[in-house]
Amino acid sequence: MPSQTSSKSAAYFKRAANILPGGVNSPVRACKSVGCEPVFIERAAGSRMWTVDGLELIDYVMSWGPMLLGHADKGVRAAATTALDNGASFGAPCPAEVELGELIRQIMPGMEMLRMVSSGTEATMSAVRLARGYTKRDKVLKFDGCYHGHSDGFLVAAGSGVATLCIPGTPGVPDPIANLTLLAPYNDLGAVEAQFAAHGADIACIIVEPVAGNVGLIPPAPGFLEGLREICTKNGALLIFDEVITGFRVALGGAQARFGVTPDLTTLGKIIGGGFPVGCYGGKREIMEHIAPCGPVYQAGTLSGNPVAMAAGIATLKGLMASDYAALEARTLAFATEMAEILRAKGQSVTLNHLASIFTIFFTNVPVTDYETAKTANSATYGEFYRQMRALGVNLAPSGFECGFTSFAHSDADLKQTLDAARKVKL
Ligand code: KE4
């Protein structure tokens, strides 16, 4: 394998750094926290990717979650290609956006009405604007370490790339806006109750990742989601489930199906585009009818409901409706459990968090239940693990504050090859 400095990836990264801030179009891809340069990907198929230097990688980032069927899924490719043959964008209604919307509602009945957008950030920022317009309140409660995209108010104590890069505060976000965001530790209903005791009449909504995925994976404690539901109902605030990661992944119907808690609004992204730029927000019809042109809360987008992305989303959801979630969950748990044991046998402290087809290896000896405990993980060890695994042909998330994702394309041979690589790592 070419050395890092002489490789085509290194040459691309040098060029990229001259045109793109940090050489990337999204910060976490820069691999800064894991102490190396990113590799540039030429192509991907199934569970694997190939770099511009010909390095083959078993992929556990899967584009940060969207590729649950695997990269370059045959059905998704066919649907997107056919749609593209008929034009890339109309800026006018098209049948596919109705079909995808109806399919989402069929799978997630709590989304009685919905609006397509082009990213998860657009979905969450629009849902919060709607919650503010509907309740006529301004404050929003989010959880330390949760990440809901890069809209101003969400960058307070955010996870994902903000946590990865240890960005303090919210440069560029005016204090009056940042101050409208209230915080509580994840899984801490007492702290949420305290915020409502102090600000209840001003809180428009709680926005929560029903399974936290941007501080690594943190499942909800028993009763946490049910408690948020009760608190919102009692105080007249809306409950927003940010299911950009969990939607169609932790169960076909998402976290709301898996945990039996129905939010007022749900935000989606990632999987519903099958790799194309799509987001969506939706929920109770009575609330959604406040969105223009029905109601006064404005939100718009040139490429919203894009026919190619809609076609890819329809093909993706239809593929998932025919997939065996229970089997993938069992295989992922067995794989992640063995990975943790391999690392413990090397003398490492490891906490494994797993749910469905998502896992995170935390190099710490404490249970990881919130942002504070996630921060006890040894990031230097994770960086060493990441670098050695990539050299051994395994692509893990380039941050300890992200998740590992399997897919329906990951074979038993892929998982075994990955565990064999982990056995070779020296920590
Ligand atoms: P996008 O705007 O990146 O499509 O979605 C924002 C978003 C919203 N909500 C949740 C729960 C999310 O996880 C995300 C985006 N996730 C990150 C990685 N965990 C995207 C990767 C990146 O920023 O490059």
* Beta bridge partner(s), residue 242: 267
Classify domain 74-321 by CATH number.
Answer: 3.40.640.10
427 residues of the chain, pLDDT tens digit each: 455 556 999 999 999 999 999 999 999 999 999 999 999 999 999 999 999 999 999 999 999 999 999 999 999 999 999 999 999 999 999 999 999 999 999 999 999 999 999 999 999 999 999 999 999 999 999 999 999 999 998 988 788 888 888 776 778 999 899 999 999 999 999 999 999 999 989 999 999 999 999 999 999 999 999 999 999 999 999 999 999 999 999 999 999 999 999 999 999 999 999 999 999 999 999 999 999 999 999 999 999 999 999 999 999 999 999 999 999 999 999 999 999 999 999 999 999 999 999 999 999 999 999 999 999 999 999 999 999 999 999 999 999 999 999 999 999 999 999 999 999 999 9
Tell me, in angstroms, the distance from the centre of ligand 1 to residue 244's CA: 7
Residues enclosing ligand 1, CB less than 6 A? 26, 28-29, 64, 119-121, 124, 147-149, 160-161, 209, 213-214, 242, 244-245, 269, 402
Which pLDDT score, from 0 to 100, does residue 155 have? 87
What is the residue with the minimal CA distance to atom 8 of ligand 1?
Answer: 148
Contact status, residue 368 vs residue 351, Cβ threshold 8 Å: yes
Distance CA 357, CA 354 (A): 8
**CA–CA dist 388, 245 (Å, integer):** 27
Q: Is the pTM of this model over 0.85?
A: yes
Which residues lie closer than 8 Å to 195 by C-beta, 6 or more apart? 141, 182, 183, 184, 203
**Would you kindly state where each structural domain of the chain is located, as residue ranges?**
8-60+324-424, 74-321
User: Measured between alpha carbons, how far is 354 from 196 in angstroms, rounded to an integer?
Assistant: 31
Pocket residue to mutate for ligand 1, from 148, 246, 405, most atoms within 8 A of Cβ: 148
Please identify which of the residues 12, 60, 147, 382 carries the catalytic annotation: 147
Whether 242 is catalytic: yes
Atom of ligand 1 nearest to the CA of 270: 4
Show the beta-strand stretches assigned E in 86-155: 113-117, 139-143
Burial class (CB in 10 A: 0-12, 13-18, 19+), 75: middle
180 and 155 Cβ atoms separated by less than 8 Å: no
Pairing of strands 279-283, 351-355: unpaired
SS3 274: coil
- In words, the CATH class of domain 8-60+324-424 is alpha beta
From the alpha carbon of 119, which atom of ligand 1 is closest?
4
Distance 421 CA to ligand 1 centre (A): 28
Q: Which of 60, 61, 121 is the pocket-test mutation for ligand 1 (most atoms within 8 Å of CB)?
A: 121
- For the question of residue 270 being annotated catalytic, the response is yes
Quick one: which of 390, 416, 424 has its CA closest to 57? Answer: 390
CA of 410 to the centre of ligand 1 (A): 23
Give the integer Cα–Cα distance in Å for 65 and 319.
16
Structure token pair of residue 121: 């950030």
Determine phi and psi for 361, rounding to 5 degrees. -95, 115
Residue type, position 232, single letter:
C
Give the pairing type, strands 351-355 and 181-184.
unpaired
Nearest CA to ligand 1 atom 7: 149
Calculate how far, in angstroms, residue 291's C-alpha sits from the geometric centre of ligand 1: 23
Joined together, the tokens standing for residue 254 give: 């998402």
Q: How far is the CA of 344 from the centre of ligand 1 (A)?
A: 31
DSSP state letter for 291: B
The closest residue, in CA terms, to atom 24 on ligand 1 is 26
Distance (Å) from CA 350 to ligand 1 centroid: 26
Q: Which residue has its alpha carbon closest to ligand 1 atom 6?
A: 149
Centre of ligand 1 to C-alpha 147, Å, is 7
Q: Whose CA is nearest to atom 23 of ligand 1?
A: 26
| Nearby residues of 271 by Cβ (< 8 Å), 6 or more positions away | 65, 66, 68, 247, 248, 249, 316, 317, 320
Is 386 known to be catalytic? no
